[in-house]
């Protein structure tokens, strides 16, 4: 009897989770953040429902500060796959002129991302949302459930999270409540890259090294993706060979210097890497906003 | 032995190809912080180089600040989020950790080892293929060692690694190691654990973790990681008979009808004959469809979509099984149950049971015993509390295809879900179907309930009066019965107090007894409707789930829930029997409305607001509702 590889087992488990939600929930949606984890999650959804198309739309919560290449990639992907794509921008945030420079990353993330997500879920009446979070990302994620129940106000109540045994997931909920479901819970960052490599999954080119205009701030390399980035006196963008380990709002995402311009090179570099993934994401550095707190407020 | 990653820069593609074929091992680590469990897991993460520079930096900082190892790294800090969680009031439960060596990926279920966390250990063990049981060499086999081993064995884990830790504190003594190993094997054999590999280690010093150390030359076996790299994994699922619970019917167009699911036992090829359970129909597999093309063979652990040669009726919740060795089908089972909710498990109360992809309604018919997890004693019990384990008989409202849990975890394991709050409240393992011979056969009767109703010129039904003590249930029910009687109807009134003098005089007022009280009355009421009677039931019946159970015994349109709605202050002011006074004085315990809850009906057929009408008006309202429902003929002429 042939044994399954770890990637095959992870793949089968994720497909099982995706199908379970579609079978038991009325209106699922897939949170599509355009990053590598989203790319893998979307790829798994295509497999789970083949030859049918995944029976749910993609939802992107656009903070208006994403890299331009991300937006191009997003629209191209949806068109290529013929998937419905819902793009939601928090109109209140736009009206308030929220931006990460003036208001800080915590407030920006809360209003544009967390509040925006809640608005979109409410507006469309989605009762289950897939997210690409993984348990290996951060200490507090290690005990996150695959099916995470949220109140009608989208709050995460640690006392109400359900035990998950075997492959049995409980998708039942009261009216107004919803689920966040994480099909990639048991994947590690390395698993994601290996799977992308083996399955030849398209990713945003920003993950690969290229010459890009950056400025250095507080030890992080910030890419000057458009003219909205206010330059400090004397600050001048320099062209450097960089890539990104995670993608988010460009003013909040640090690049690393790298020459890895192919997938194997990225993986090789990652294996030798000495800095963990979320290090490059500024939102985690805001002391007041621990992951637990953000989750309780409705962040993924 | 080399746990360092290869230097992939040299040939990443070859490395990636090799990595693609790596196996996965899921295991659980059992023990408390005192046994050095966190240190051991931290050490495994460290040695397998899963730690990156910023994490190491944080670890070094924390070790200096709050560590217990002086200037050295305190590995326990890597995984001990627990104290922080306690401060934040967050549930402490299962955390999953990940690491890899050259040959395998590992997922470790890490659960706190204290007594009250049976629920978490069971959860972590349910997906594990192997368990590491940690023992402090200075202490030997403890009560908690026995408890962990029992739970591991209950959840069907057969492979045990007995990690006898802190060997450095017993001078690396071969004798201490041998004594503990012997003690443990003696105990383990009694609970059916025989596949045990004992390894003397020091998680703190790193002895026998990655490689055999110089400190214990008398030990000739493998180091812990060496063993984890070579122990056989997932070697039983493929040899089993084929099983696949149907998750979802894939129907993109008229030409394609596929059945999607994850294979949980055996293998399948096109042309195989499968049986659909519980219906029993069979067909041959036409194709094994995946996005990567059709497969000639699919095995346990894969998610696939099957199509069949014939058009047969298959839906979500069905089990596809090899026709040669089909699973059993039953609606009565014996099962081990682990209770996971603050609210106790009550026999008779209906819960939802999910097994595979099928969800049915189930109630515990009889709790045979509960287990003291420390002594393995079997104790008589009427209910299960949080973290208790028992053996019970279950009644399902629909047949379920299954295998005994010992043969297949996925077709024998189930969860129980509360019908009101939707929480997962229990987990269980099906042992066996209860053989029909053990049951009393149902005697088919030639005269049906319909015949009897027609003979009496009425429609048999149950009027279920619920409300607080002193709400006026019996008064109103009595008036309704008098009027029906005067109309020439055949009725009977079951009154709570009266029934407790006879049929239910063995029952008290605990939650478990209240459930049984209502179950019996529900059954009696059902028998009486079979006899063609209009049955009036006047019971406080405080719990929604029991009223729902009573309703489920009857057909649609035959159950009328009459909510006698009287506010507590009003009922208490009336206090016709002086019971509220006694309850307030503490002379009566578990009194509904005082120290036991009343759950009002959400959608009663009839609601009576006693604050706004007299008992006579209320009785008239009930009669009118029965007319509207067609239970009583409008044109019936009667002579008062």
Contact status of B97 with chain A (Cβ, < 8 Å): yes
What rounded mean pLDDT belongs to chain A?
A: 86
Residue A258 DSSP SS3: coil
Report pLDDT for A195: 94
Specify the pTM: 0.77
Report pLDDT for A9: 93
Expressed in angstroms, the distance from the first to the final Cα of chain A is 40
Nearest CA in chain A to B358: A168
Q: Residue B239: list chain A partners with CB under 8 A.
A: 1
Q: Residue A143: list chain B partners with CB under 8 A.
A: 81, 93-96
CB contact under 8 A, A268 and B119: no
Query: Band of the pLDDT at A300, cuts 50, 70, 90?
Result: low
Report pLDDT for B438: 37
Q: What is the CA angle A15-A280-A234, rounded to 5?
A: 145
Report pLDDT for B639: 37
- The residue among A84 and A227 whose pLDDT is bigger is A84
Taking the C-alpha atoms of A135, A141, A143 and A149 in order, what is their torsion angle to the nearest 10 degrees? -100
Report pLDDT for B66: 63
| C-alpha span between B632 and B249 (Å, rounded) | 46
Of A186, A194, A273, the CB nearest to B52: A273
Nearest CA in chain A to B78: A139
| C-alpha span between B370 and B391 (Å, rounded) | 6
CB contact under 8 A, B24 and A167: no
Quote the ipTM score: 0.89
% of chain A beyond a pLDDT of 70: 89
Asked if B541 is an active-site residue, the reply is yes
| Contact map slice: A 250-289 vs B, CB within 8 A | 264-265, 267-268, 271-276, 279
Query: Band of the pLDDT at A56, cuts 50, 70, 90?
Result: very high
Report pLDDT for A286: 41
A98 pLDDT above the threshold of 90: no
Active-site pick, B541, B545, B552, B596: B541
Write the CA distances from B57 to A248, B52, B74, B240, integer angstroms. 25, 9, 12, 48
Residue A53 CA from chain centroid, whole number: 22
Q: Residue A135: list chain B partners with CB under 8 A.
A: 96, 98
A274 pLDDT above the threshold of 60: no
Token pair belonging to B527: 């028998």
**What's the pLDDT tens digit per position in A108-162?**
888 888 889 999 999 999 999 999 999 888 766 777 889 999 988 888 877 778 9
CB contact under 8 A, A191 and B422: no
CB contact under 8 A, A172 and B352: yes
Check residue A160 and report its DSSP letter: G
Give the pLDDT mean for A80-91. 93
| C-alpha span between A257 and A268 (Å, rounded) | 14
Say if residues A263 and A200 touch (Cβ distance below 8 Å).
no
Helix axis angle for B511-530 and B544-552, nearest 10°, is 20
Report pLDDT for B280: 87
Which residue ranges in chain B fall short of pLDDT 70? 1-11, 32-33, 49-60, 62-73, 75-92, 113-116, 235-238, 435-446, 633-640
CB contact under 8 A, B299 and A273: no
Write the CA distances from A238 to A69, A211, A215, integer angstroms. 19, 9, 6
**Residues in contact with B258: Cβ distance below 8 Å, sequence separation at least 6, in sequence order:** A51, B249, B250, B251, B289, B305, B306, B307
Report pLDDT for A293: 52
A281 pLDDT above the threshold of 50: no
Q: Where are the beta strands (DSSP E) in chain A?
A: 28-31, 58-61, 85-88, 128-130, 147-150, 178-181, 210-217, 220-223, 238-243, 254-257
Q: Which of B415, B428, B429, B602 should we substitute to test contact with A (largest number of A Cβ atoms within 10 Å)? A: B415
Residue B136 DSSP SS3: strand
């Amino acid at each position: 009897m042939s044994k399954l590889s770890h990637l095959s087992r992870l793949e089968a488990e994720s497909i099982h989770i995706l199908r379970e939600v579609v079978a038991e929930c009325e209106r699922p949606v897939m949170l599509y953040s355009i990053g590598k984890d989203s790319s893998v999650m979307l790829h798994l959804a295509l497999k789970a429902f083949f030859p049918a198309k995944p029976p749910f739309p993609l939802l992107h919560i656009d903070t208006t500060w994403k890299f331009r290449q991300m937006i191009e990639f997003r629209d191209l992907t949806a068109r290529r796959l013929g998937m419905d794509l819902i793009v939601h921008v928090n109109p209140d945030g736009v009206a308030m002129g929220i931006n990460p420079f003036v208001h800080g990353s915590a407030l920006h993330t809360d209003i544009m991302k967390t509040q925006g997500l809640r608005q979109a879920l409410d507006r469309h009446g989605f009762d289950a949302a897939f997210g690409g979070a993984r348990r290996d990302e951060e200490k507090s994620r290690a005990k996150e459930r695959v099916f995470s129940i949220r109140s009608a106000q989208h709050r995460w109540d640690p006392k109400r999270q359900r035990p998950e045994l075997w492959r049995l997931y409980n998708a039942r909920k009261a009216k107004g409540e919803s689920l966040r479901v994480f099909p990639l819970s048991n994947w590690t960052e390395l698993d994601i890259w290996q799977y992308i490599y083996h399955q030849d999954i398209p990713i945003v080119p920003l993950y690969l090294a290229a010459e890009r205009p950056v400025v250095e701030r507080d030890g992080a390399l910030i890419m000057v993706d458009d003219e909205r980035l206010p330059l400090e006196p004397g600050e001048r963008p320099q062209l450097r060979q960089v890539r990104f380990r995670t993608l988010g709002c460009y003013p909040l995402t640090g690049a690393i210097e790298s020459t890895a311009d192919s997938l194997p090179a990225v993986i090789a570099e990652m294996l030798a890497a000495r800095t963990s993934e979320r290090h490059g994401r500024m939102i985690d550095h805001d002391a007041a906003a621990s992951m637990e707190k953000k989750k309780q407020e409705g962040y993924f | 032995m080399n746990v360092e990653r290869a230097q992939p820069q040299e040939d990443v593609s070859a490395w990636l190809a090799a990595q693609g074929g790596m196996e996965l091992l899921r295991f659980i680590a059992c023990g408390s912080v005192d046994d050095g469990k966190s240190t051991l897991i931290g050490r495994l993460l460290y040695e397998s180089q899963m730690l990156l520079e910023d994490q190491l930096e944080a670890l070094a900082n924390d070790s200096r600040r709050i560590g217990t190892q002086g200037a050295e790294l305190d590995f326990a800090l890597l995984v001990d989020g627990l104290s922080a969680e306690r401060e934040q009031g967050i549930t402490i439960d299962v955390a999953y950790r990940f690491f890899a060596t050259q040959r395998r990926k590992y997922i470790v279920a890490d659960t706190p080892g204290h007594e009250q966390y049976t629920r978490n250990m069971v959860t972590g063990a349910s997906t594990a293929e192997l368990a590491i049981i940690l023992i402090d060499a200075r202490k030997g086999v403890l009560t908690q060692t026995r408890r962990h081993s029992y739970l591991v064995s209950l959840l069907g884990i057969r492979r045990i690694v007995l990690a006898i830790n802190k060997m450095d504190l017993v001078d690396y003594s071969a004798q201490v190691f041998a004594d503990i190993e012997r003690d443990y094997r003696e105990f383990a054999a009694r609970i059916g654990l025989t596949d045990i590999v004992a390894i003397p280690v020091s998680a703190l010093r790193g002895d026998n973790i990655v490689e055999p150390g110089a400190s214990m030359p008398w030990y000739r076996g493998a180091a812990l990681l060496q063993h984890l790299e070579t122990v056989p994994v997932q070697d039983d699922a493929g040899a089993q008979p084929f099983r696949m619970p149907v998750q979802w019917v894939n129907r993109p167009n008229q030409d394609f009808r596929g059945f999607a699911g994850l294979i949980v036992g055996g293998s399948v090829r096109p042309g195989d004959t499968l049986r659909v359970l519980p219906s029993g129909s069979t067909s041959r597999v036409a194709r094994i469809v995946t996005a990567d093309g059709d497969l000639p063979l699919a095995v346990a652990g894969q998610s696939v979509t099957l199509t069949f040669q014939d058009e047969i009726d298959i839906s979500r919740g069905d089990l596809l099984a090899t026709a040669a060795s089909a699973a059993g089908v039953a609606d009565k089972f014996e099962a081990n149950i682990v209770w996971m909710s603050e609210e106790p498990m009550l026999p008779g109360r209906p819960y939802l049971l999910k097994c595979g992809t099928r969800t049915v309604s189930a109630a515990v018919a009889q709790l045979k015993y509960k287990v003291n997890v420390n002594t393995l004693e079997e104790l008589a019990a009427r209910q299960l509390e949080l973290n208790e384990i028992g053996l019970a008989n279950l009644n399902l409202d629909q047949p379920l295809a299954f295998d005994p849990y010992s043969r297949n975890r996925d077709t024998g394991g189930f969860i129980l879900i509360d019908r009101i709050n939707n929480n997962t409240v229990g987990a269980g393992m099906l042992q066996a179907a209860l053989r029909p011979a053990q049951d009393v056969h149902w005697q088919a009767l030639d005269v049906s309930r319909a015949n009897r109703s027609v003979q009496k010129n009425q429609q048999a039904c149950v009027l279920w009066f619920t409300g607080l003590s002193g709400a006026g249930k019996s008064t109103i029910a009595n008036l309704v019965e008098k009027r029906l009687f005067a109309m020439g109807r055949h009725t009977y009134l079951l009154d709570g107090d009266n029934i407790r003098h006879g049929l239910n005089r063995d029952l008290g007022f605990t939650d478990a007894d209240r459930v049984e009280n209502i179950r019996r009355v529900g059954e009696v009421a059902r028998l009486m409707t079979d006899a063609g009677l209009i049955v009036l039931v006047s019971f406080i019946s405080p719990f929604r789930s029991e009223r729902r159970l009573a309703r489920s015994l009857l057909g649609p349109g035959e159950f009328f829930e009459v909510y006698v709605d009287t506010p507590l202050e009003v009922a208490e002011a009336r206090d016709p029997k002086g019971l509220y006074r006694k309850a307030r004085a503490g002379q009566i315990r578990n009194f509904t409305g005082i120290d036991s809850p009343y759950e009002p009906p959400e959608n009663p057929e009839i609601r009576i607001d006693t604050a706004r009408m007299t008992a006579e008006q209320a009785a008239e309202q009930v009669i009118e509702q029965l007319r509207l429902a067609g239970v009583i003929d409008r044109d019936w002429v009667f002579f008062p």
